[in-house]
Structure 1
Amino acid sequence: MNQPNPGLPSTHHRRVACSFRDNLLRQIFQISLTSLNQLKNDVASRLQELALSLALKCLSFDFVGTSIDESSEEFETVQIPSSWRPLLEDSSTLQIFFDYYVITKAPLSKEALECLVRLASVRRSLFTNDGTRSKFLAHLMTGTKEILQTGQGLADHDNYHEYCRLLGRFRVNCLLSELVNVEGYSDWIQLVAEFTLKSLQSWQWASSSVYYLLGLWSRLVTSVPYLKGDAPSLLDEFVPKITEGFITSRFNSVQAGFPDDPSENPLDNVELLQDQLDCFPHLCRFQYESSGFYIINIMEPILQSYTEIVRLQTFANSELSIIEAKLTWIVHIIAVILKIKQSTGCSVEAQEVLDAELSARVLQLINITDSGLHSQRYGELSKQRLDRAILIFFQHFRRSYVGDQAVHSSKLYARLSELLGLHDHLLLLNVIVGKIATNLKCYTESEEVIDHTLSLFLELASGYMTGKLLLKLDTVKFMIANHTREHFCFLEEDRCSRSRTTFYYTIGWLIFMEDSPLKFRSSMQPLLQVFLSLESTLDSMFRADTVKYALVGLMRDLRGIAMATSSRKSYGLLFDWLYPAHMPLLLKGITHWTDTPEVTTPLLKFMAEFVLNKAQRLTFDSSSPNGILLFREVSKLLVAYGTRILSLPNPADIYAYKYKGIWISLTILTRALAGNYVNFGVFELYGDRALSDALDIALKMTLSIPLADVLAFQKLTKAYFSFLEVLFSNHMSFILNLDTATFTHIVGSLESALKGLDSNISSQCASAVDNLAAFYFNNITMGEAPTSPAAINLARHIADCPTLFPQILKTLVELVLFEECSNQWSLSRPILSLILISEQIFTDLKAQILASQPADQQQRLAACFDKLMADVTRSLDSKNRDKFTQNLTVFRHEFRVK
C-alpha cells in the first residue's frame, strides 16, 4: 500500500494514491476495525495478526503526499481526512488497540502501540469541537495510565520503546492547558514522572527511549506561561527530580565504562549527543535556581579533585579518565543551558546571575586543563572529549554574551567580575583565544579538536565586533606574526593538513581587517620563507618527500589566505605579492607531481580560489594588464597538467588520480572565463595562444572521460556542465569549429543532463541549448546565407545530424508536460528558440504527443497546443520570451488537468 511503482513518474503515482485514499482507504480501515472486533477471542491467530497489520498500514498511509519515511521514528501530525472523523470520534476505535495491547504478546502488542502512536498524532482540526477532542485525549490518558499502573508488556524492549514514543506524542498537538483539565491528570502525571525516573535509572536498557519522555517534559514546561485557570500542573514537584535523574544517569553511564563502538558513545557522536541534550535546557531553566545549584554542588568536588591532580607526578589513568568524562558531561550540560533563554522560572536578571555562576565553574576548569599532569594528556581520548566540550561551551557562551549578536549583560559580567575578575567582552575573549592558542600549540594527533578549535577561531574572527576586539589581544598579534610549525605543532602533522586552510583563512581575515599593506607583507614572511626554500630546490631534488609536504602545506595555506580576500584592495595585495615572483613555483610543482593527487589537488584548488571573482574582488585598473596576465598563468598551468595527466595510463582509482584533477581544472577555467576581468578578444588579435590552448586541453580532458562517468560523479558533473554553459554563452565559435562527431557528443551530453534530477544542472544545460538554438535562429533561420565560419559550421553540423534539434525539443517539452520540474522558467527559454528554428519540427512533435494521449482527450489537448503560441512573434527579444513562458505555464496546467 502506497508503494511507488518504479516505472511511473511521481505525479502519476500521487494521482493514483490520492484516488485510492479518497475512494477506498477509509473502507479498508473500517474492515480492519470490524475484523479486530470479531477476532478478539481468536487468540494468537494469523487473522488477528493480519487485521492489526492492515490497520497499521492504513494509519501509516502518506495522506498528503509528503513521502514520509515510514521506517523513521520522527513524523509530526498525521493528516487523516475529514471523512474519517466519525471513526476517530467513536471511542471503540481507540479502545480496540488498547485491548489488543493487553490480549496479545510481542510483536503484535508492539503493532497495537504503533497504531496508538499514530492515532495520538492526528491533527487537532479533525475533531468536531473541543469537547470531542477532550474525550479523545482523556481516553488516551486513561489507556496509557492503565498500562503504567499494571506495567503489562513493558518488560519487552520493543513494547517499552514504542510506549515511550506514545507518551512522547502527547507533546506534538496536546497543550498543557488541555491536559491539566482532564480528570485524573494528577495521577497520570505522577505515574509518567515515576516512569521517567525509572527509565533514567535503567539508562542502559532505556537509553534510546528516554528522550521521547524528556521531549514530553520539555514541551510541558515550555507551555507553562500559557497555562490559565487554577488547575495545578504539578510540574514544580516533578521536573527538578527528572533534571537531577538525568544528570545522575549520565554519571552512572561514565562509571559503567564506554561502549566498544565509539559511534554509540554520545561524547564521541555529535548527533547522538544533540539528541540527548536537546530537551534538557528547558527542564533546567524551569526551576533554574534549584537545578543550577544542583549542578554546581555536584561539579565542585569533581573540580576540586581535578585541581589537586595537577600537582601530582602520576595518577591512575582509568580514574582520571572517569573524572574527565564527568566533567565533560557537566560542561556539555552547562553549554546547552547557555544555548537557550527561557521566560519561565525566574527573572532574566536572576537567570543571568546563574549563567555567570555556572560559566565561572567552566572558566575555572579551563585554568587547570592545560597545567601540570593534565598538560601531558593531549593524546588521551578522555582529555580530547573534555576539550571539545569546552569549545562547545565557548561557542554557546559567545553567541549569548560576547560579540555582534549578544546583548551586553551587566548582571552576568558583574557576577563574573566578582568571581573571576572578568568584567567585559575583551577579557573573556582573551580567555577563549588563550585556549584556542593552547589547543593549536599542543594538539598534534586529534583532528577533531583541531578542526573544532579552528571553527571557533574563524567564528570569532569573522564577527565584526569580535574580529576588531581580537586584534587588540597580544595572543592574536603573536599568532598573526608567528604562524609557523615551531609555534603551532599541528602544522607539522600531515593528518591535519586540511585544517591549515581554515587556519590561514582566519589568519588572513584578521590580517586584511587591519587594512595595512605593511602588516600584510610582514605577516606573510613565514610563507615567503617556504617559497624561497622551494624555489631554490634543484629539479633533481624536487620529488623528495620533504618538498612534497612543504608544497602541499604551502598551497593549503595560500588557499586560506586567498579565501580571506573579499575586496579589491585585499586581493590586490595578495596578487602583487604572488605575481610575477612566485607563480613559476606553481608550474614547477604541477609538472613534477602530476601523478600525485595529494600535491596536485591542493595546488589546483588554490588556483580555483585565486581566479574566482567573488564580490568583484578581481577588478583591476583600466590600464592594468593583470587580468590578461593572470589568465596566461592559468593557461600555462592547465596545459602543463592536462597534457601530462592525459599521457598517464588510467589508474585503478580513476576518480582520485584523474577525474578529480580534471574537474578542478575545469572549475579553474570556468571561473576564469566567467570572471569578467579578461578581454578574450585580445588573445586572437595579438596571436597569443593562451586562450585556444586552455580551451583545447580542457576539451581533450573532458572527451577523455566517458559520459557515463561524467554523470556518475557529482562534482565532475557540476564542473563539466558549468564549463559547457560558459562555452556556449561566451565562446560559441570554439564549439562550432569542432568536428561534427565531437559537436554532437557535447550537445548530446546536454540533452542527457536535462533529464537528470538536479535542477541547477538541467538549468545550465537549458541555457547552453538556448544559446546554441538562438545562434542558429539569428544567423541561419532569420539571416541570409550564412557567411561567418561559425554559422557555416553549425549549418553543416545540423545538416549532418538533422534529428539533433527535434530530439532536444521533444525532451524539453516532455519534461515540462509530464514531470515535476522546479525550473520551468529555465526550460521554457530553449523551447521557444527551438520552435522558432522550424515550426515543422514543432508541428510533428505536437502530433506525436497528441497521438500518445487518450482519444477522448485529444481535441481538448489540441486546443491547448494552439493557445501555446498565441501572441508570440518570431523573435527572441525578452518581451516575446516572457510572453511564451506565461503561455507555457498556462498550457502545462491545462494539459495536466484530467
Structure 2
Amino acid sequence: MSLQYESCSLFIINIMEPLLQAYTARSRLPASGDAAELSVIEGQIAWMVHIIAAILKIRQTVGCSQDSQELFDAELAARVLQLINITDTGVHAQRYQEISKQRLDRAILIFVQNFRRSYVGDQAMHASKQLYARLSELLGLTDHLVLLNVIVGKIATNLKCYAECEDVIDHTLSLFQELASGYMTGKLLLKLESTKFIIANHSRENFPFLEEYRCVRSRTNFYYILGCLVFMEDGPVKFRSFMEPLLQVAVNLEASADAAFRTDVVKYAFTGLMRDLRGIAMATNSRRTYGLLFDWLYPSRMPLLLRAISLLTDEPEVTTPLLKFMSEFVLNKAQRLTFDSSSPNGILLFREISKLIVAYGSRILLLPNGTNIYRSKYKGIWISLTVLSRALCGNYVNFGVFELYGDRALADALDISLKMTLSIPLSDILTFKKLSKAYYGYMEVLFNNHITINSVLNLDTSTFVHIVTSLESGLKGLDTGISTQCASAIDSLAAFYFNNITAGDNPPSPAALNLARHIGELPSLFPQILKSLFEIIIFEDAGNQWSLSRPILSLIMISEQMFSDLRAQILASQPLDQQQRLSQCFDKLMTDVTRSLEPKNRDRFTQNLTTFRHDFRAK
C-alpha cells in the first residue's frame, strides 16, 4: 500500500506542477487574454484539487499514520496551499464572476475541510510532526497557527469577493463554522490577526455579500459564527465593541420616519439587522452570554421591533425575519434564560413578546387573503405560535403575576393567538407541515401548562369542540411527533376533568365549570376520542404507544360507562368466534389498575395496554 501511495502521489504531483506554473504565469498577463483557455486550466486544476482532497480524506477513514504517508500528504497539500496564494492575485483577482473560478475555489474549500479534519482537528493537533516539518521546508508553514492564518485569510477573501455567488459564500461559511465550533481550533482562531480583522470589521463595506439579497440567508450563519467566537472570551466590553456596527444600524432605523419604513432601503436594513441578531442569539448558549445580548436589546431596542411589526404587518419579508429572531431569542435552550430570583427580566421579556404578538395578530387578521395565503399569512402565524409556545414553556416567567396585578399581557397574548389559529381552516392546518407542527405544539403547551387560566375553556362550545376535534385529527395523522403532542394535550384535558369534576371534592373552579358545560352540551366528544385512540392502538402500528396510553387511561377514569360502551362496540365488530377471547383481553387490561392518575398507576396501565394490544391482534 505504501508503494501505491507513493507512486500515486508522485503521479499527481507531476500533473499538478505544470498546471500550477501555467496558472501562475497567467496571473501576470493582462486580463484581455484568452479567457476560455484560462477557464480550461482552472477546470483541470479543480479536478486535481478534488483528487488531492479525496486522498487526504483517507487518513480519516483508515487512520493512516506512517511517516512516509504524512510526507506525501505534505507534498500534495503544499501544492494546493501554494495555489491559495495564486488564485487571488493578478488577473485571477478579477475573475470571481467566472464559473470555472468559482468551481476552483469550492474545490479548494473541500481540500481545506478534509485537510483540517485530518491534520488540524482537535484530536490531530499534536500527531502530525512530519507533515508540518515538510510544510515548513516547502512553504514556511511552521505550525498549526500559521496554517490556520492562511485558511482564515482565504475565508475572509472569499467573503469579500464572492458577493454575488451564494454557493461559494455558503461553502466558505461552512468551513468557517467548522473551525469556530472546535474548542481548540476556536481558541486558536481568536489569536489570528485575520480572525481579529473579521470580528472588528464585519460591516457591509468589508463584506459586500451582506448587502446582496441573494445571500441574505447567509447573514444569520455569518453572525452565528462570529457570535461563537466573541462569546469564547469573557467581557462585556468586547461584546459592546463587536455590536457597535449593529447598534449604528438600529439607531439609524429608530431615527427614520414611519413613512420611510415602506422604502426598500429601510426594509432591507431592518431585515438584515433581524437576521444578524438571530445569528448572535443562536450563539448564546449560557446565562452569561444570553445576558449580554438581553441587556443590549432590552429595553432600548424593543420599541423598534414593535414599531416595525406594526407598520409592516403586510410585508412578510420583514415580519418573518423579525418573528424568527424572537423565536430564537425566547428559546430557553441550555437554561440560558435563567435570571436572578429578584430579577423581573423574565416577566418583562414576556410583556414584550405579548406586545409583538398582539400587534402582529390583531393586524394580520384584518388583512385580505393574498394569492399565496401561506406566504402572506400562515407563515407569520405559525412562527408567532412558535414564539408564544417557547415563551409559555420556557420556565422563566411566573404567569400568576399577570392576573395578580391586573396585567393583560398573558390574557391578550392567549386571546389573539387563539383568534389566529381559529382563522385557519383545519384542512389547511393539516396540509402545511410547518403550520401543523406549530399549531399542535402550541396546543400542547396551552393544555399542559395553562389550562386553569386557559381561554380555550372560556370559548363557546362549538369553538371549543372545533379545537378538541382538531386534536383528534392530529392523533390520526401520519406524523408521530404531532400525534404525541395531541395525545399529551388530550391527556391534560381529560385529567383536568377527572381531577376537578369526576373526582373533585372541592367546589369546581370557573374553568372546570366551563369544561363541564362544554361536555354536557356534547357528551359524545370524549367517547369519540377514546374510540379513536383504541382504534390506533389496536389496528395501527403506532410508534408512540406509550404517549397514546396516557390519554386512554385518563378518559377511562372519567367514566366507566363510557369504557364499557366502547368495549361492547369493539367486541360487536369482531367475528363471533373471537369475541370471548377478546373479551378476556379487555378484562386483563384493567388488572391491578386503580381509579387514579398517579404515575405508578399510569405505568401499570401502559404495561397492560402493551399486552392487550399484542393479545388482541394475535390470531
User: TM-score surpassing 0.5?
Assistant: yes
DSSP-derived class of the 1:648 partner: coil
Aligned counterparts of 2:148 and 2:290: Cα–Cα separation in 1 = 29
Partner of 2:351: 632
Partner of 1:495: 214
Partner of 1:339: 57
Aligned counterparts of 1:656 and 1:569: Cα–Cα separation in 2 = 36
Which of 360, 364, 382 is matched with 1:663 structurally? 382
Partner of 2:466: 745
Which of 225, 235, 250 is matched with 1:531 structurally? 250
Which of 766, 789, 800 is matched with 2:521 structurally? 800
Matches within 5 A, 1:103-142: none
Is residue 2:121 matched to residue 1:400?
no
Aligned counterparts of 2:123 and 2:472: Cα–Cα separation in 1 = 48
Partner of 2:475: 754
Which of 591, 597, 613 is matched with 1:870 structurally? 591
Aligned amino acid, residue 14 of structure 2: N
DSSP-derived class of the 1:287 partner: helix
Aligned counterparts of 1:343 and 1:822: Cα–Cα separation in 2 = 35
The one-character-per-residue Cα deviations of 1:386-422 (angstroms, maximum 9, x if unpaired) are 1111111111111111031325311111111111111
State the Cα distance separating 1:332 from its structure 2 match: 1.0
Matches within 5 A, 1:23-172: none
Alpha carbons 1:509, 1:564 under 8 Å: kept: yes
Partner of 2:566: 845
> Against the structure 1 CA distance between its residues 643 and 347, is the aligned structure 2 distance closer, same or farther, given a 3 Å change threshold?
closer
Which of 8, 17, 20 is matched with 1:303 structurally? 20
Is residue 2:391 matched to residue 1:672?
yes
The one-character-per-residue Cα deviations of 1:340-359 (angstroms, maximum 9, x if unpaired) are 23899997221111111111
Aligned amino acid, residue 260 of structure 2: M
Alpha carbons 1:286, 1:344 under 8 Å: kept: no
Aligned counterparts of 2:428 and 2:252: Cα–Cα separation in 1 = 40
Alpha carbons 1:773, 1:830 under 8 Å: kept: yes
> Against the structure 1 CA distance between its residues 342 and 651, is the aligned structure 2 distance closer, same or farther, given a 3 Å change threshold?
closer
State the Cα distance separating 1:593 from its structure 2 match: 1.2
Is residue 2:414 matched to residue 1:685?
no
Partner of 2:10: 293
Which of 310, 320, 340 is matched with 1:621 structurally? 340
Alpha carbons 1:403, 1:463 under 8 Å: kept: yes
The one-character-per-residue Cα deviations of 1:308-359 (angstroms, maximum 9, x if unpaired) are 0010013211111111111111111111111123899997221111111111
Is residue 2:208 matched to residue 1:520?
no
Is residue 2:81 matched to residue 1:367?
no
Paired residue total: 615
Aligned counterparts of 1:346 and 1:631: Cα–Cα separation in 2 = 55
Is residue 2:538 matched to residue 1:817?
yes
Aligned counterparts of 1:717 and 1:302: Cα–Cα separation in 2 = 55
Aligned counterparts of 1:428 and 1:370: Cα–Cα separation in 2 = 17
Alpha carbons 2:43, 2:103 under 8 Å: kept: yes
Matches within 5 A, 1:534-549: 534-549=253-268
Aligned counterparts of 1:531 and 1:343: Cα–Cα separation in 2 = 48
State the Cα distance separating 1:423 from its structure 2 match: 2.0
Partner of 1:575: 294
DSSP-derived class of the 1:736 partner: coil
Which of 488, 491, 498 is matched with 1:767 structurally? 488
Aligned counterparts of 1:623 and 1:425: Cα–Cα separation in 2 = 47
Aligned identity (percent) is 74
Q: What TM-score do you get using the length of structure 1 for normalisation?
A: 0.68
Is residue 2:422 matched to residue 1:703?
yes
Partner of 2:47: 329
Aligned counterparts of 2:461 and 2:579: Cα–Cα separation in 1 = 39
The one-character-per-residue Cα deviations of 1:745-789 (angstroms, maximum 9, x if unpaired) are 110000000011111111111010000000111111112475311
The one-character-per-residue Cα deviations of 1:232-268 (angstroms, maximum 9, x if unpaired) are xxxx9xxxxxxxxxxxxxxxxxxxxxxxxxxxxxxxx
Partner of 2:510: 789
Matches within 5 A, 1:243-642: 287-314=4-31, 315-341=33-59, 348-408=66-126, 409-642=128-361
- C-alpha RMSD of the superposition: 1.4
DSSP-derived class of the 1:533 partner: helix
State the Cα distance separating 1:478 from its structure 2 match: 1.2
Aligned counterparts of 2:506 and 2:215: Cα–Cα separation in 1 = 63
> Against the structure 1 CA distance between its residues 426 and 333, is the aligned structure 2 distance closer, same or farther, given a 3 Å change threshold?
same
Structure 1 gap ranges (5+): 1-235, 237-284
Aligned counterparts of 1:545 and 1:290: Cα–Cα separation in 2 = 59
Alpha carbons 1:288, 1:346 under 8 Å: kept: no
> Against the structure 1 CA distance between its residues 464 and 346, is the aligned structure 2 distance closer, same or farther, given a 3 Å change threshold?
closer
Matches within 5 A, 1:174-253: none
Alpha carbons 1:872, 1:880 under 8 Å: kept: yes
Aligned counterparts of 1:595 and 1:342: Cα–Cα separation in 2 = 51
Partner of 2:611: 890
Aligned counterparts of 1:687 and 1:342: Cα–Cα separation in 2 = 62
Aligned counterparts of 1:890 and 1:348: Cα–Cα separation in 2 = 57
DSSP-derived class of the 1:624 partner: coil
Alpha carbons 1:872, 1:883 under 8 Å: kept: yes
Aligned counterparts of 1:665 and 1:346: Cα–Cα separation in 2 = 52
DSSP-derived class of the 1:428 partner: helix
Larger radius of gyration: 1
Alpha carbons 2:312, 2:319 under 8 Å: kept: yes
Alpha carbons 1:388, 1:452 under 8 Å: kept: yes
Deviates more, 1:695-704 or 1:844-853: 844-853
> Against the structure 1 CA distance between its residues 897 and 474, is the aligned structure 2 distance closer, same or farther, given a 3 Å change threshold?
same
Aligned counterparts of 1:789 and 1:633: Cα–Cα separation in 2 = 29
DSSP-derived class of the 1:445 partner: coil
Aligned counterparts of 2:156 and 2:324: Cα–Cα separation in 1 = 27
> Against the structure 1 CA distance between its residues 351 and 836, is the aligned structure 2 distance closer, same or farther, given a 3 Å change threshold?
same
DSSP-derived class of the 2:347 partner: helix
Alpha carbons 1:401, 1:407 under 8 Å: kept: yes
> Against the structure 1 CA distance between its residues 328 and 609, is the aligned structure 2 distance closer, same or farther, given a 3 Å change threshold?
same
Aligned counterparts of 1:849 and 1:471: Cα–Cα separation in 2 = 68
Aligned counterparts of 1:526 and 1:724: Cα–Cα separation in 2 = 40
Alpha carbons 1:403, 1:425 under 8 Å: kept: no
> Against the structure 1 CA distance between its residues 317 and 663, is the aligned structure 2 distance closer, same or farther, given a 3 Å change threshold?
same
DSSP-derived class of the 1:573 partner: helix
The one-character-per-residue Cα deviations of 1:595-642 (angstroms, maximum 9, x if unpaired) are 111111001100111111000000001111100110010011111111
Aligned amino acid, residue 503 of structure 1: F
Aligned amino acid, residue 640 of structure 1: A
State the Cα distance separating 1:475 from its structure 2 match: 1.1
Aligned counterparts of 1:335 and 1:342: Cα–Cα separation in 2 = 12
Which has the bigger relative contact order, CA under 8 A and spacing at least 6?
Answer: 2
Partner of 1:102: none
DSSP-derived class of the 2:231 partner: helix
DSSP-derived class of the 1:513 partner: coil
State the Cα distance separating 1:463 from its structure 2 match: 0.8
Alpha carbons 1:286, 1:345 under 8 Å: kept: no
Partner of 1:100: none
DSSP-derived class of the 1:732 partner: coil
Q: What TM-score do you get using the length of structure 2 for normalisation?
A: 0.98
> Against the structure 1 CA distance between its residues 529 and 736, is the aligned structure 2 distance closer, same or farther, given a 3 Å change threshold?
same
> Against the structure 1 CA distance between its residues 561 and 345, is the aligned structure 2 distance closer, same or farther, given a 3 Å change threshold?
closer
> Against the structure 1 CA distance between its residues 697 and 343, is the aligned structure 2 distance closer, same or farther, given a 3 Å change threshold?
closer
Structure 2 gap ranges (5+): none
State the Cα distance separating 1:546 from its structure 2 match: 0.8
DSSP-derived class of the 1:542 partner: helix
Aligned counterparts of 1:370 and 1:497: Cα–Cα separation in 2 = 24
Is residue 2:497 matched to residue 1:780?
no
